[in-house]
Structure 1
Amino acid sequence: MHNLRHVRLAWRLLTRDWRAGELRVLAAALVIAVGAVTAIGFFSDRLNRAMTYQSADLLGADLRLTGAEPVPAEWIRSAADHGLRHVETLDFASVVVHGDKLQLASIKAAAPGYPLRGTLRTAPALYAAETDTVDIPAPGTAWVEARILQALGLAIGARIEIGSAAFTVTRVLTYEPGRGGSFFTMAPRVLMHRDDVAATAVVQPGSRVTYSYLFAGADTDLARYQEWLKTRLGPHHRLFDVRDAGSSIGRALGRAERYLGLTSLLAVLLAGVAIAMGARRYSERHFDTAAMLRCFGATQGDLVRLFVPQFLLLGLVASAAGCALGWLTQEAVFYLLREVYPVRLPPAGLAPVAFGFFTGLLALAGFALPPLMRLRQVPPLRVIRREMAPLPPAAWLVYGSAAAAILILMWRFTGSLLLTAAVLAGSLAAAAALAAFAGALLALSRRVHRRVGVAWRFGMNNLWRRTRTSIGQILAFGLVLMAMAVIALLRTDLLNTWQTQLPPDTPNHFAFNILPQNVAAMQGFFAANRIPASDLYPMVRGRLTEINGRPVTQAVTKEDDGNEAIRRELNLTWTDTLPSDNRLVRGAWWNNTATANPVSVEEKLAKKLGIEIGDELTFSIAGSERRAQVASIRSVQWDSFHPNFYMIFPPGALDGLPATYLTSFHLEPEQKPLLTSLVRAFPAVTVLEMDQVLAQVRTILAQVTAAVELVLLFVLAAGFAVLFAVLSASLDERFHEGALLRTLGAGRRQLRAAHFAEFAVLGMLAGVLAAIGTELIAWVLYTRAFELEYRFKWPVWVLTPLAGGLLIGLAGYIGTRRVVSQSPLTVLREL
Structure 2
Amino acid sequence: MKPDARPFSSLSFLAQAWRMTVRDWRAGELRLLALALVVAVASVASVGFLADRIRLALERDAAQLLGGDLVLVSDAPISEIQREQAARLGLEVTETLQFPSMAAAGTGDALRSQLTALKAVQQGYPLRGRLRVADGPAMPDEVAWDIPARGAVWVDPQLLSLLEVRVGDELQLGDKRFRIERVIAVEPDRGMNFINVAPRVMMRTDDLDGTGLVTFGSRISYRLLVAGQPAQVREYADWLQARLERGQRVETLESGRPEMRRTIDRAQQFLSLVALLAALVAAVAVALAARRFTLRHFDSVAVMRCLGATQSALTRLFALEFLIIALGAAAAGSLLGYVAHQGLIAALGGLITTDLPAATLLPAVQGFLAGVWLLLGFALPPLAQLRHVSPVRVLRRETGVAPARTAVGYGIGALGFALLLLWFARDLKLGAMVAGGFLAGFALFCGLAWLGVRWLEPLRQWQRGPVALRFALAGVVRRRGATVAQICALAVGLMALLLLSITRGDLVDGWRQAAPPDAPNRFLINIQPDQREAVGQRLADAGLGETELYPMVRGRLLEINGRAVGPADYEDERARRLVDREFNLSYMDEMPGHNRVVAGRWLDPSAAELSMEEGIAQTLGVKLGDTLRFDVAGNAVEVTVTGLRAVDWDSMRVNFFAILSPAVLRDMPQSWITALHLPEDKADLSSALIREFPNLTIFDTGAILRQVQGVLDQVVAAVQFLFLFTLAAGCLVLYAALASTRDERVREAGLLRALGATRRQLSAAQWLELGAIGGAAGLLAAGGASAIAWLLARFVFKFALASNPWVWVAGVSVGVVCAWAGGWMGLRGVLRHPPLATLREV
Shift of 1:7: 2.2
Cα distance in 1 for partners of 2:425, 2:406 equals 29
User: Sequence identity, in percent?
Assistant: 35
Indicate yes or no: 2:611 matched with 1:599: yes
- Residues 463-474 of structure 1 aligned to structure 2 (within 5 Å): 463-474=476-487
Cα distance in 2 for partners of 1:438, 1:813 equals 22
Q: After superposition, what is the alpha-carbon deviation per residue over 1:138-186, rounded to whole angstroms, capped at 9, x for unaligned? A: 598576799x9978855559xxxxxxxxxxx988999988689xxxxxx
Kept in 1: contact 2:44–2:367 (CA 8 A): yes
Shift of 1:26: 1.5
The residue type paired with residue 365 of structure 1 is L
Q: Which region of structure 1 is more displaced relative to structure 2, 22-31 or 621-630?
A: 621-630
The 3 A distance-change label for structure 1 pair 340 and 380 is same
Partner of 1:98: none
Q: After superposition, what is the alpha-carbon deviation per residue over 1:682-730, rounded to whole angstroms, capped at 9, x for unaligned? A: 4665678999999987775564344234223222222222222222222
Indicate yes or no: 2:43 matched with 1:31: no
Shift of 1:587: 5.1
Partner of 1:135: 144
The residue type paired with residue 39 of structure 2 is I
> How many residues of Structure 1 are paired with residues of Structure 2 in the alignment?
756
Partner of 2:10: 3
- Residues 263-662 of structure 1 aligned to structure 2 (within 5 Å): 263-331=274-342, 343-390=354-401, 393=404, 396-415=407-426, 417-448=428-459, 450=462, 452-492=465-505, 511-516=524-529, 518-526=531-539, 536-553=549-566, 556-557=569-570, 560=573, 563-574=576-587, 597=609, 599-601=611-613, 603=615, 605-612=616-623, 617-621=628-632, 622-634=635-647, 645-648=656-659, 654-655=665-666, 657-662=668-673
Indicate yes or no: 2:116 matched with 1:109: no
Secondary structure of 1:735 counterpart: helix
The 3 A distance-change label for structure 1 pair 47 and 263 is farther
Kept in 1: contact 2:629–2:636 (CA 8 A): no
Kept in 1: contact 2:510–2:802 (CA 8 A): no
Shift of 1:135: 2.7
Q: After superposition, what is the alpha-carbon deviation per residue over 1:373-404, rounded to whole angstroms, capped at 9, x for unaligned? A: 10000111111223233456555455444444
Cα distance in 2 for partners of 1:62, 1:282 equals 60
Secondary structure of 1:821 counterpart: coil
The 3 A distance-change label for structure 1 pair 192 and 654 is closer
Q: Which region of structure 1 is more displaced relative to structure 2, 671-680 or 300-309?
A: 671-680
Partner of 2:112: none
Shift of 1:309: 0.7
5+ unaligned residues in a row in structure 1: which ranges? Answer: 78-85, 95-104, 158-168, 181-187, 195-207, 216-224
Indicate yes or no: 2:738 matched with 1:733: no
The 3 A distance-change label for structure 1 pair 19 and 773 is same
Cα distance in 2 for partners of 1:510, 1:133 equals 38
Cα distance in 2 for partners of 1:62, 1:9 equals 62
Kept in 1: contact 2:67–2:225 (CA 8 A): no
The 3 A distance-change label for structure 1 pair 791 and 338 is closer
The 3 A distance-change label for structure 1 pair 7 and 433 is same
Secondary structure of 2:418 counterpart: helix
The residue type paired with residue 29 of structure 2 is E
Partner of 2:166: none
Cα distance in 2 for partners of 1:705, 1:241 equals 31
Shift of 1:742: 1.5
- Residues 718-757 of structure 1 aligned to structure 2 (within 5 Å): 718-757=729-768
Kept in 2: contact 1:572–1:646 (CA 8 A): yes
Cα distance in 1 for partners of 2:66, 2:426 equals 24
Cα distance in 2 for partners of 1:520, 1:724 equals 72
Shift of 1:501: 12
- Residues 44-63 of structure 1 aligned to structure 2 (within 5 Å): 44-46=51-53
Secondary structure of 1:111 counterpart: coil
The residue type paired with residue 13 of structure 2 is H
The 3 A distance-change label for structure 1 pair 690 and 722 is same
The residue type paired with residue 26 of structure 1 is L
Indicate yes or no: 2:24 matched with 1:17: yes
Cα distance in 1 for partners of 2:629, 2:296 equals 76
Cα distance in 1 for partners of 2:508, 2:69 equals 27
5+ unaligned residues in a row in structure 2: which ranges? Answer: 1-7, 100-117, 156-169, 192-200, 208-219, 228-232
Kept in 1: contact 2:491–2:780 (CA 8 A): yes
Cα distance in 2 for partners of 1:27, 1:540 equals 65
Cα distance in 1 for partners of 2:297, 2:14 equals 18
Cα distance in 1 for partners of 2:749, 2:400 equals 28
Kept in 1: contact 2:294–2:383 (CA 8 A): yes
TM-score (norm 1): 0.73
The residue type paired with residue 434 of structure 2 is V
Shift of 1:321: 1.6
Cα distance in 1 for partners of 2:277, 2:514 equals 27
The 3 A distance-change label for structure 1 pair 688 and 303 is closer
Kept in 2: contact 1:362–1:402 (CA 8 A): no
Kept in 2: contact 1:491–1:708 (CA 8 A): no
Shift of 1:302: 1.4
- Give the alignment partner of residue 776 of structure 2, picking from 765, 770, 786: 765
Shift of 1:301: 0.8
Kept in 2: contact 1:106–1:190 (CA 8 A): yes
Kept in 2: contact 1:618–1:625 (CA 8 A): yes
Q: Which region of structure 1 is more displaced relative to structure 2, 291-300 or 3-12?
A: 3-12
Cα distance in 2 for partners of 1:115, 1:534 equals 48
- Give the alignment partner of residue 42 of structure 1, picking from 49, 60, 69: 49
Kept in 2: contact 1:510–1:688 (CA 8 A): yes
Q: After superposition, what is the alpha-carbon deviation per residue over 1:621-665, rounded to whole angstroms, capped at 9, x for unaligned? A: 444423232422548589x8x865432458888555554212468
- RMSD value, Cα: 5.7
